[in-house]
Amino acid sequence: MVIKLLVLDCDGILLDSRKPIVQALRDALKSRGYRLSKRVLKELGNGPIEDVFASVGVRKDDIEEVAKRFEEGKVKRMDMVKAAPWVSVLKGVKVPKIGLTNNLSPIIRKQLRGVGIGFVHEVLGAERGESKVVRFRQILKQQGVRADEVVYVDDKPAGVALARKIGCVSVLVPGPAAWASREEALRAGADFVVQDLRGVVKIVRELD
For the segment 52-68, what is each residue's pLDDT rounded down to a tens digit?
Answer: 899 889 999 999 999 99
pLDDT classification of 41: cutoffs 50, 70, 90 = confident
18-78: CATH number: 1.10.150
Q: What is the pLDDT of residue 42?
A: 83
Distance CA 34, CA 28 (A): 9
Distance CA 201, CA 208 (A): 11
Name residues whose C-beta falls within 8 Å of residue 161's C-beta, 6 or more positions apart in sequence.
none
Q: State the chain's mean pLDDT as an integer.
A: 93
The domains of the chain are located at 5-16+81-207, 18-78
Domain 5-16+81-207 in this protein, CATH class: alpha beta
Q: What is the largest CA-CA distance in the chain?
A: 52
List pLDDT tens digits, range 175-200.
Answer: 999 999 999 999 999 999 999 999 99
Q: What is the pLDDT of residue 131?
A: 85
pLDDT classification of 120: cutoffs 50, 70, 90 = very high
Count the helices and strands in the chain (H runs, E runs): 9, 8
- How many other C-beta atoms lie within 10 A of the C-beta of residue 116? 10
Tell me if domain 5-16+81-207 and domain 18-78 are identical in fold.
no
Backbone φ and ψ of 24, nearest 5°: -65, -40
In this structure, of 41-45, 55-59, 94-98, 198-202, the range with the lowest mean pLDDT score is 41-45
Distance CA 106, CA 127 (A): 9
Distance of CA 182 to the CA centre of its chain: 17
The model carries a pTM of 0.92
For residue 121, give the 3-state DSSP assignment: coil
Q: What is the pLDDT of residue 39?
A: 86
Name beta bridge partners: 169: 151
